[in-house]
Amino acid sequence: MKDARIIIVDDNKSVLSALELLLKGRCRKLKCLASPNMLLSEIQTEKYDVLLLDMNFKAGINTGNEGIYWLQRVLEIDSAISVVMITAYGDVELAVKAVRMGASDFVLKPWENEKMLVTIESACRLSKSKAEVKKLQMKESQLIAELNRGDKKLIGSSQEWQKVMKLVKKVATTDANVMITGENGTGKELVAREIHSLSHRAKNVMVTVDMGAITETLFESELFGHKKGAFTDARSDRTGKIETANGGTLFLDEIGNLSLSMQAKMLNVLQNRKVTRVGENVPFEVDIRLVSATNCDLLKRVEEGTFREDLLYRINTIHIELPPLRNRVDDIPELAEFFLSRYKVKYNKRETTFSDVALTKLKKYKWPGNVRELQHAIEKALILSDGKTLGPSDFVFTNERDEDAILPDSTLEDMEKQLIAAALKKHIGNMTAVAAQLGITRQTLYNKIKKYGLQAL
């Protein structure tokens, strides 16, 4: 109680004097008010832990409604303050009503000093607990916001990408289960995060589970949680991913990797919206929004008998197919500039830009690794580049035939120069390897390097 800040409101001056005498020196701050008229302005300007509030203020009226009115008004302003009601009439029913409406306790006039001190001390502890809970809730909301924010953005103005975004915005406001499909590197997790951030669940966390990384033996423990001692390595209670996502979004990435037995367990949870921890028998309800992703053809898997048809229909209420980067060529320059701006800061090369020819080359490449490959290609080019302009020779594509990466409208000599420069960079000046790739002798290679003014790395 030494650090407590206490305010007392009672229209009986003798009550105020008695409480002031009892509490003076026992608390950090003590304020006495003979009328509740100044109470609200006082708690708005000063922080108090405990309020001792009389239940009756009007002479001749002993209903307790005055005190309940002020109790409600106080808690609207400060929900963390502990309110102890004071009444001279021992109306238990009215006191219980006040407690149900938010009061922490009540005392009867005349009181016993020891009992009053114990009641106030308990109210102080309760107030501090409320403050701690509020602080933890604020930290939790900040953490959730940070987790949901991410550092990546959905970029693209092409017609193909805008169709995707239109569908995302339409389904995000619902609780419908969503299945996102597309090649690796197309941004399935980013789209899942966008759906979550636009939903009414955005204030809660989105939990991501890589189903391809969970073994069958750990599936139930990871997803459903377990009780201490449920199995050999269960040294403590563990909260499962589904429970963690309660109230938010559960994102199951690579769901096509689930075995049939794991699929059956997952289907049971999705149908009943209940989870039973390993080692327990009593299920508990969960409220999740499910978003799944895969690069598999699940319909084909159903035909093959390796994926349950009923589970597919359960997770596939809305289907969003992400186009590969080669089908949204117009977005490549915008994406490239975004990644370059990020890595320019990271690697302190703030003046670096793309040449027009380099951007043309990026648009021509087929990008089998999609946006992820583009991102890595730009980071690598920026790291290895010595100049302030990234040119076509700064991008060497190993997933496409050399002739497919040659720029249009180039002369034969231009193309030859580009091929040699790219091969030199790829093999870091290993002349034997370069000559072997180009299908020429080492002497011919040296002659051409001299001819085009290239440098052997």
Contact 448, 441 (CB under 8 A): no
Residue 150 belongs to a domain: no
In a 10 Å sphere around its CB, with 0-12 CB exposed, 13-18 middle and 19+ buried, how is residue 110 labelled?
Answer: exposed
Which pLDDT does position 357 carry in this prediction?
92
Torsion angle in degrees (nearest 10) through CA of 297, 301, 307, 310: 80
> For residues 130 and 53, which has the higher predicted lDDT (pLDDT)?
53
Which pLDDT does position 448 carry in this prediction?
84
Residue 281 belongs to a domain: yes
Residue 356's φ and ψ, nearest 5 degrees, are -60, -35
Assess whether 165 and 290 both reside in one domain.
yes
* 318, β-bridge pairs: 178
Structural domain total, the chain: 3
* Chain centre to alpha carbon of residue 44: 34
- Where does the pLDDT of residue 402 fall: very low under 50, low under 70, confident under 90, or very high at 90 and above? very low
User: d(Cα 407, Cα 199) in Å, to the nearest integer?
Assistant: 44
Assess whether 380 and 315 both reside in one domain.
no
CB burial of 235-263 (b: ≥16 within 10 Å; e: otherwise) equals eeebebbbbbbbebbbbbbbbbebeeebb
> For residues 411 and 334, which has the higher predicted lDDT (pLDDT)?
334
| Residue range of the domain that includes 285 | 159-323
Average pLDDT rounded to a whole number, residues 266-286: 89
Residue 153 belongs to a domain: no
In a 10 Å sphere around its CB, with 0-12 CB exposed, 13-18 middle and 19+ buried, how is residue 454 labelled?
Answer: middle
Which pLDDT does position 405 carry in this prediction?
44
Residue 457 belongs to a domain: no
User: d(Cα 146, Cα 165) in Å, to the nearest integer?
Assistant: 23
* Chain centre to alpha carbon of residue 409: 47
Domain CATH number, residue 251: 3.40.50.300
- Where does the pLDDT of residue 199 fall: very low under 50, low under 70, confident under 90, or very high at 90 and above? very high
User: d(Cα 342, Cα 365) in Å, to the nearest integer?
Assistant: 22
In a 10 Å sphere around its CB, with 0-12 CB exposed, 13-18 middle and 19+ buried, how is residue 89 labelled?
Answer: middle
Domain CATH number, residue 53: 3.40.50.2300
Q: Does the structure show a pLDDT above 50 at 340?
A: yes
Assess whether 10 and 63 both reside in one domain.
yes
Least confident segment among 136-150, 234-248, 392-406: 136-150
Q: Please report how the helices 370-384 and 332-346 are oriented relative to each other, as an axis angle in degrees rounded to 10.
A: 40
Q: Does the structure show a pLDDT above 80 at 232?
A: no
Average pLDDT rounded to a whole number, residues 102-115: 89
Report strand pairing: 5-9 vs 50-54: parallel
Assess whether 204 and 318 both reside in one domain.
yes
Average pLDDT rounded to a whole number, residues 286-300: 93
- Proportion of the chain above pLDDT 70, given as a percent: 90
The pTM assigned to this predicted structure is: 0.60
> For residues 456 and 204, which has the higher predicted lDDT (pLDDT)?
204
Residue 328, classed as helix, strand or coil, is: coil
Average pLDDT rounded to a whole number, residues 103-116: 89
- Where does the pLDDT of residue 410 fall: very low under 50, low under 70, confident under 90, or very high at 90 and above? low
Q: Record the tokens describing residue 155, joined without a space.
A: 């970029």
Contact 195, 171 (CB under 8 A): yes
Q: Does the structure show a pLDDT above 50 at 152?
A: yes
Average pLDDT rounded to a whole number, residues 13-31: 91
Who contacts 409 (Cβ-Cβ below 8 Å, separation ≥6)?
none
Average pLDDT rounded to a whole number, residues 172-182: 95
- Where does the pLDDT of residue 154 fall: very low under 50, low under 70, confident under 90, or very high at 90 and above? confident
* Chain centre to alpha carbon of residue 433: 47
Tell me the residue ranges of DSSP E strands in 3-87: 5-9, 29-33, 50-54, 82-87
Give yes or no for a cis peptide into 392 (omega within 30° of 0): no
Contact 178, 320 (CB under 8 A): yes
Which pLDDT does position 235 carry in this prediction?
80
- Where does the pLDDT of residue 404 fall: very low under 50, low under 70, confident under 90, or very high at 90 and above? very low
Assess whether 277 and 340 both reside in one domain.
no
User: d(Cα 333, Cα 350) in Å, to the nearest integer?
Assistant: 18
Residue 265 belongs to a domain: yes
Domain CATH number, residue 373: 1.10.8.60
Task: Report the run of H or E that residue 191 belongs to, with start and end.
Answer: helix 188-197
Which pLDDT does position 9 carry in this prediction?
93
Q: Does the structure show a pLDDT above 50 at 221?
A: yes
User: d(Cα 124, Cα 81) in Å, to the nearest integer?
Assistant: 9
Give the end of a domain, one of 323, 349, 374: 323
pLDDT digits (tens, 9 = 90+) for 366-389: 999 999 999 999 999 999 888 899
Assess whether 170 and 283 both reside in one domain.
yes
Q: Does the structure show a pLDDT above 60 at 359?
A: yes
Assess whether 331 and 306 both reside in one domain.
no
Average pLDDT rounded to a whole number, residues 393-414: 62
Q: Record the tokens describing residue 76, joined without a space.
A: 């609207």
**DSSP 3-state percent helix, strand, coil across the chain (nearest 5):** 50, 15, 35
Q: Quote the mean pLDDT of the chain.
A: 86
Residue 152 belongs to a domain: no
Long-range contacts of 213-220, Cβ-Cβ distance < 8 Å, separation of 24 or more: 216/259, 216/261, 216/262, 219/262, 219/265, 220/265, 220/278
Residue 146 belongs to a domain: no
Which pLDDT does position 20 carry in this prediction?
92
Assess whether 317 and 367 both reside in one domain.
no
Which pLDDT does position 401 carry in this prediction?
46
Average pLDDT rounded to a whole number, residues 243-268: 92
User: d(Cα 320, Cα 180) in Å, to the nearest integer?
Assistant: 5
Average pLDDT rounded to a whole number, residues 212-235: 84
Assess whether 305 and 419 both reside in one domain.
no
Residue 201 belongs to a domain: yes
Using alpha carbons, list the distances in angstroms from residue 195 to 106, 176, 335, 353: 48, 11, 20, 33
Q: Which residue has the tokens 């995707």?
A: 164
Least Cα distance to 397 among 371, 368, 420 occurs for 368
Least confident segment among 163-177, 335-349, 418-432: 418-432
Assess whether 122 and 28 both reside in one domain.
yes
Assess whether 319 and 335 both reside in one domain.
no
Average pLDDT rounded to a whole number, residues 430-448: 81
Q: Does the structure show a pLDDT above 70 at 175?
A: yes
Alpha helices per DSSP H over 245-355: 260-272, 298-304, 309-315, 332-346
Assess whether 235 and 346 both reside in one domain.
no
Least Cα distance to 32 among 59, 45, 47, 13 occurs for 13
Which pLDDT does position 416 carry in this prediction?
79
